[in-house]
């Protein structure tokens, strides 16, 4: 463990850190790795005789079914979705209420984050450039899943007398299925979803974020123990979610969109600077999607990685967005479905693709000059990379190869993205928690404290166990949510038909 | 003869008292009625945290109730006590746009606005309410210093 001079400036901390580091990190790694292992292997167990995890198939099939069932709604309703976000159908008398734009922006700040930066790097380095193709496809299909779940989120939300609202899969699963005479099933699914949502909030929404934020900081300032980052992060998260310091969260919510714009801007600049390689990069993406380019996993490997990362990044089918979108002011639940379908588009089709293009174009993944194929690093289980970088470090290296100072900007972006995702997921987790245990100060505080403890655990662990657990928890949410969506999709269809006919007849009119 | 309506952009601070006094004096001379507009600055494109989103409807109710009881109602009481006819409205959005829009919808013949805040740095960069109204007001606008 080496420290850079900046850290020697605080010798007390450094010495203490150095001595305690190995034991604490290892202890946490072993304990959490052992505890989560069986859960992870169940979720990702492949179909017998193949390497294809059944859960990935589950998401793909769902997105395909929703796409077909709603007649390619993601393409048909795209212009109307933009009009809704622009406020063209918003009643001016509702000004001061949550607008479609605000609901979308808040949901996006929960999803745009490390999945777009680190997750894509993981997918492309394991599955090859071809993973990008499957990721885009999954993003496009996922738009239909998001449409379905967010419509239901608004339709079956709880509105309380004081004006606050609570919504999400736990509410539509129980209320929606009860209305269909399947109350028992609905309650079981709602509870299962809530359990997985709490785990997902602690995994992907928390530990993975803390872990990658720490990785990015060490990338800049040098190596130091993860639990230090963890404690600092946990203290800030604690101040916001327990101390009620919404001002910190507000600042983050305002900076995050700016960061997303800067990130996409930088990616575009890099792509434009290497415009001559763009055709080649797309060639790699397309041929890799179907041939695997000789990468160990081949076509299936690329597909699995692409779909996994898309799902982890845009959360379509997972149900989390339905919680975020359910508070919008609208008389028509379906309008929030339309708005939410833009989310996977922005998140995956635009932002994730940019990350993938930058990684492919800048050549940070090693290519064998003789064969023109990527060099497989057997020990690491992925393509060999510059400086052996993986995850967020690989994305950072790719941006840094063209814009030398960009890793510093990226580090700030990663930290802010991580933070805003944590705040969003602490809310999702809390909603699931209170659904199970009831609302109340002490019950809420219990969850919030557990959440903060997991920040420290996440920052201290190695990437492997963290990413596996966070994936597993998020996918487990999708397992329950999608199962329920199959029963509830006719309700969405009825809403859609009614809305479209009223839009056509002019009953639903434009205000602007 | 129809009664004229004067729209007053009423913020509820000290400057607004001057605006209101001036508008009342003008209205009593002309026999006009006053229409007080109080705007709660709001953009549908601002960013909110999940908790703020959840509580928005509740907060909006509280904000409207507070604006009514603390700002608009006392002002209306003052105007009617002076023997003038008055109405008041509270809206969310951009001050300049909504004051101008209200003047159009109620068919006002004049707008009264205070000069408050015109010296701040942000108003120099982004423009102040009186400057904005000077540009888009549909009727003559009085800026009360």
CB contact under 8 A, B91 and A427: no
Output the pLDDT for position A313: 80
Is-contact A284 A374, C-beta < 8 A? Answer: no
pLDDT at A77: 93
- pLDDT of the residue at B124: 56
Tokens of A12: 């007390």
Task: Quote the minimal CA–CA distance from B26 to chain A in Å.
Answer: 31
Contact A103 B57 (CB under 8 A): no
Task: Tell me which residues of chain B have a C-beta less than 8 Å from any C-beta of chain A.
Answer: 40, 42, 44-61, 63-64, 91-93
Q: What are phi and psi of A206, to 5 degrees?
A: -145, -70
- The confidence score (pLDDT) of residue A385 equals 85
Contact A83, A76 (CB under 8 A): no
| Statement: residue A140 has pLDDT above 90 | yes
Q: Please state the rounded mean pLDDT for residues A290-310.
A: 75
DSSP per-residue letters across A1-22: ----HHHHTSHHHHHHHHHHHH
Nearest CA in chain B to A105: B47
Cβ contacts (< 8 Å) between B42 and chain A: which residues? 95-96
Q: Do B57 and A427 count as a contact with CB atoms less than 8 A apart?
A: no
What pLDDT does A21 receive? 54
Q: In the predicted model, what is the mean pLDDT of residues A255-282?
A: 89
Whether residues B61 and A163 touch (CB distance < 8 A) is answered with yes
A119, A351 contact by CB (below 8 A): no
Please tell me the predicted confidence (pLDDT) of residue B121: 61
Distance from CA of A35 to the nearest CA of B (A): 31
Give the residue among A205, A181, A148, A179 at the shortest CA–CA distance from A482.
A148
pLDDT class for A161, splitting at 50, 70, 90? confident
Asked if the C-beta of A182 comes within 8 angstroms of chain B's C-beta atoms, the answer is no
Tell me whether A50 touches chain B (CB under 8 Å): no
Provide the shortest C-alpha distance from residue B96 to chain A (in Å).
15
pLDDT in tens, A172-205: 999 999 999 999 999 999 999 999 999 889 888 8
pLDDT of residue A467: 66
pLDDT in tens, A417-447: 888 888 889 999 999 999 999 888 899 899 9
| Residues A272, A259: Cα–Cα separation, whole Å | 20
Spatial separation of the C-alpha atoms in residues A319 and A193, rounded to whole Å: 9
pLDDT in tens, B5-23: 999 988 877 778 888 999 9
Pairing of strands A165-166, A158-159: antiparallel
* Of A368, A317, A367, the residue nearest A344 (C-alpha): A317
Are A427 and B58 within 8 A, CB to CB? no
Chain B residues whose CB is inside 8 A of the A103 CB are 53
Residue A225: which pLDDT band, with cuts at 50, 70 and 90?
confident
Residue A4 is predicted with a pLDDT of 36
| Residue B57 pLDDT exceeds 50 | yes
Arithmetic mean of pLDDT, A265-282: 92
| Buried-state track A212-234, b at ≥16 Cβ within 10 A, e below 16 | bbbbbbbbeeeebbbbbbbebbb
Q: Higher-confidence residue: A12 or B55?
A: B55
B47 and A246: CB-CB below 8 Å?
Answer: no
Q: Would you place residue B130 in the very low, low, confident or very high pLDDT band (cuts 50, 70, 90)?
A: confident
Q: What is the structure's pLDDT at A5?
A: 37
Query: How confident is the prediction for chain A on average, in pLDDT?
Result: 84
Q: Please count the CA atoms within 13 angstroms of the CA of A221 that sit on its side-chain side.
A: 16
- Measured in angstroms, the CA of B57 and the nearest CA of chain A are apart by 5
Measured CA to CA, the distance from residue A486 to residue A493 in angstroms comes to 12
Q: What is the mean pLDDT of residues A273-278?
A: 91
Best CA proximity match to A480, nearest among A106, A38, A177: A177
- Which of chain A's residues have a Cβ under 8 Å away from the Cβ of B45? 99, 101-102
Is residue B120 over pLDDT 60?
Answer: no
pLDDT at A45: 85
Residue with tokens 């309008």: A335
Residue A288 confidence (pLDDT) above 70: yes
DSSP A86-107: TTTT--GGGBTBPPHHHHHHHH
Q: How close, in Å, is residue B101 to chain A by CA atoms? A: 12
How many residue pairs bridge chain A and chain B with CB atoms within 8 Å of each other? 88
- Each residue of A306-321: pLDDT tens digit? 888 887 788 888 999 8
What is the nearest CA distance from B84 to chain A, expressed in angstroms? 28
Distances (CA, A) of A243 to A238, A240, A253, A274, B47: 6, 5, 17, 47, 20
Instruction: Indicate if the pLDDT at residue A3 is higher than 50.
Output: no
Give the per-residue pLDDT at A382: 83
Residue pair B25/B144 in contact (Cβ under 8 Å)? The answer is no
Of B47, B61, B93, the CB nearest to A95: B93
In this complex, do B47 and A424 lie within 8 Å of one another by their Cβ atoms? no
Residue ranges of A 196-235 with Cβ closer than 8 A to chain B: none
* Chain B contact set for A327 (CB, 8 A): 53-54, 56
The predicted pLDDT at position A142 comes to 92
Return the structure tokens found at B63.
């904000």
Would the CB atoms of A110 and B50 count as touching at under 8 Å? yes
Give ipTM to 2 decimals: 0.82
pLDDT at position A192: 94
CATH of domain A51-85+92-505: 1.20.1740.10
Give yes or no for residue A9 having a pLDDT over 50.
no
Whether A505 shows a pLDDT value over 50: the answer reads yes
Pick from A95, A327, A428: which is nearest to B53 by CB? A327
Average pLDDT estimate for A288-298? 69
pLDDT at B55: 84
Contacts with A329 from chain B: Cβ below 8 Å: 56-57
Percent of chain A with pLDDT over 90: 35
Going by the DSSP 8-state scheme, the letter that residue A331 receives in this structure is S
Give which of B41, B43, B44 to mutate to test A binding, by max A Cβ within 10 Å: B44
- Looking at the complex, does the CB of residue A327 fall below 8 Å from at least one CB of chain B? yes
Torsion angle, alpha carbons of A108, A111, A116, A117, to 10: 100
Mean pLDDT of A78-84: 94
* pLDDT at residue A469 greater than cutoff 80: no
User: Which of the two residues, A62 and A303, has the higher pLDDT score?
Assistant: A62
Across the range A11-28, mean pLDDT stands at: 55
Residue, of A489 and A24, whose pLDDT is higher: A489
Of B44, B52, B60, the CB nearest to A101: B44
Which domains, ranges and CATH numbers included, belong to chain B? 5-144 (3.40.50.620)
Q: Do B50 and A106 touch (CB under 8 A)?
A: yes
Please give, one letter per residue, the 3-state secondary structure of A226-252: HHHHHHHHHHHHHHHHCCCCHHHHHHH
Half-sphere exposure of B88 (CA within 13 A, CB side): 23
Long-range pairs for A499-507: beta carbons < 8 A, 24 or more residues apart: A499/A332, A499/A334, A499/A335, A503/A80
What contacts 24+ positions apart, CB below 8 Å, involve B56-64? B56/A97, B56/A98, B56/A163, B56/A327, B56/A329, B57/A97, B57/A98, B57/A163, B57/A164, B57/A165, B57/A329, B58/A162, B58/A163, B58/A164, B59/A163, B60/A96, B60/A97, B60/A163, B60/B92, B61/A163, B63/A96, B64/A96, B64/B40, B64/B90
Q: Provide the percentage of residues in chain B whose pLDDT is more than 70.
A: 90
Average pLDDT over residues A262-269: 92
Least confident of A164-168, A493-497, B119-123: B119-123
pLDDT band at A297 (very low <50, low <70, confident <90, very high): low
Residues A55 and B132: their CA atoms lie apart, in Å, by 57
CA-based R_g, chain A, Å: 22
Place of tokens 């990935």: A56
Mean pLDDT along residues A48-57:
77
Of A162, A423, A427, the CB nearest to B58: A162
Give the gap in angstroms from C-alpha A99 to the nearest C-alpha of chain B: 6
- Phi, psi of B56, rounded to the nearest 5 degrees: -55, -50
Kindly determine whether residue B53 and residue A324, on different chains, have CB atoms separated by under 8 Å.
Answer: yes
- Asked if A301 and A292 count as a contact pair (C-beta separation under 8 A), the reply is yes
Supply the pLDDT for residue B46: 80
- Chain A neighbors of B46, CB-CB under 8 A: 102
Q: In chain A, what are the domain boundaries? A: 51-85+92-505
Cα of A158 to nearest chain B Cα, Å: 11
> Where does the pLDDT of residue A303 fall: very low under 50, low under 70, confident under 90, or very high at 90 and above?
confident
Contact A327 B45 (CB under 8 A): no
Question: Smallest CA–CA separation between B41 and chain A, in Å?
Answer: 9
Q: Is A324–B61 a contact, with Cβ atoms under 8 angstroms apart?
A: no
Query: Angle A192-A325-B63 (CA atoms, 0-180°, nearest 5)?
Result: 125
- Give the mean pLDDT of A278-305: 79
Instruction: List the single range of A263-272, A407-416, A484-493 with lowest mean pLDDT.
Output: A407-416
A505 touches chain B (CB under 8 A): no
Give the chain B residue nearest A110 (alpha carbons).
B50
Q: Which residues of B touch A162 (CB under 8 A)?
A: 58
User: Across the interface, do B47 and A250 touch by the CB < 8 Å criterion?
Assistant: yes
């Amino acid at each position: 463990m080496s420290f850079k001079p900046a850290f020697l400036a605080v010798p007390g901390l450094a010495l203490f850190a150095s001595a305690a580091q190995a034991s604490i990190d290892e202890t946490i790694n072993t304990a959490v790795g052992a505890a989560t292992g069986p859960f992870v292997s169940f979720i990702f167990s492949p179909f017998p005789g193949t390497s294809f995890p059944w859960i990935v198939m589950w998401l793909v099939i769902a997105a395909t079914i929703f796409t077909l069932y709603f007649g390619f709604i993601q393409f048909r309703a795209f212009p109307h979705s933009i009009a809704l976000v622009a406020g063209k159908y918003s009643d001016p008398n509702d000004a001061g209420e949550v607008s479609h734009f605000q609901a979308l922006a808040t949901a996006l700040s929960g999803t745009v984050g490390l999945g777009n930066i680190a997750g894509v790097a993981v997918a492309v380095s394991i599955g090859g450039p071809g993973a990008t193709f499957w990721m885009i496809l999954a993003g496009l299909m996922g738009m239909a899943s998001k449409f379905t779940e967010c419509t239901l989120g608004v339709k079956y939300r709880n509105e309380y007398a004081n004006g606050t609202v609570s919504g999400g899969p736990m509410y539509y699963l129980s209320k929606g299925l009860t209305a269909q005479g399947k109350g028992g099933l609905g309650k079981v699914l709602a509870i299962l979803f809530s359990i997985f949502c709490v785990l997902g909030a602690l995994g992907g929404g928390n530990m993975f974020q803390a872990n990658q934020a720490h990785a990015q900081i060490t990338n800049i300032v040098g190596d130091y123990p993860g639990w230090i980052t963890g404690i600092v992060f946990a203290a800030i998260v604690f101040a916001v979610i327990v101390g009620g310091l919404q001002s910190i969260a507000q600042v983050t919510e305002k900076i995050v969109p700016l960061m997303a714009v800067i990130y996409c801007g930088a990616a575009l600049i890099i792509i434009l600077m290497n415009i001559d390689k763009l055709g080649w990069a797309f060639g790699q993406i397309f041929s890799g999607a179907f041939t695997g380019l000789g990468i160990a996993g081949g076509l299936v490997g690329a597909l699995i990685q692409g779909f996994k990362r898309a799902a982890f990044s845009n959360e379509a089918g997972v149900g989390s967005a339905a919680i975020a979108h359910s508070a919008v002011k609208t008389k028509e639940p379906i309008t929030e479905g339309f708005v939410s379908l833009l989310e996977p588009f922005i998140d995956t089709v635009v932002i994730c693709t940019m990350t993938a293009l930058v990684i492919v174009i800048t050549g940070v993944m090693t290519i064998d000059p003789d064969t023109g194929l990527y060099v497989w690093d057997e020990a690491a289980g992925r393509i060999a990379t510059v400086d052996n970088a993986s995850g967020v470090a690989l994305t950072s290296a790719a941006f840094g190869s063209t814009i030398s100072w960009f890793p510093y900007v990226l580090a700030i972006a990663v930290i802010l993205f991580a933070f805003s995702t944590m705040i969003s997921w602490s809310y999702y987790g809390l909603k699931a928690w209170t659904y199970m245990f009831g609302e109340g100060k002490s019950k809420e505080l219990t969850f919030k404290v557990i959440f903060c403890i997991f920040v420290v655990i996440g920052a201290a662990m190695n990437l492997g166990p963290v990413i596996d657990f966070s994936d597993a928890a998020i996918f487990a949410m999708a397992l329950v949510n999608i199962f329920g969506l199959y029963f509830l999709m006719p309700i969405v269809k009825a809403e859609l038909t009614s809305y479209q006919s009223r839009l056509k007849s002019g009953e639903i009119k434009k205000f602007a | 003869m129809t009664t004229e309506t004067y729209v007053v952009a009423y913020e509820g601070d000290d400057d607004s008292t001057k605006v209101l006094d001036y508008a009342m004096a003008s209205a009593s001379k002309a026999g006009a009625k006053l229409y007080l507009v109080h705007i709660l600055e709001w953009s549908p494109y601002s960013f909110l945290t999940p908790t703020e989103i959840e509580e928005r409807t509740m907060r909006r109710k509280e904000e409207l109730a507070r604006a009514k009881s603390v700002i608009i109602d006392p002002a209306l009481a003052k105007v009617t006590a002076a023997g003038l006819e008055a109405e008041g409205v509270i809206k969310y959005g951009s001050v300049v746009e909504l004051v101008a829009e209200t003047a159009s919808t109620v068919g006002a013949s004049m707008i009264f606005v205070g000069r408050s805040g015109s010296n701040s740095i942000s108003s120099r960069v982004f423009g102040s309410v009186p400057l904005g109204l000077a540009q888009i007001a549909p009727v003559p606008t009085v800026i009360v210093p």
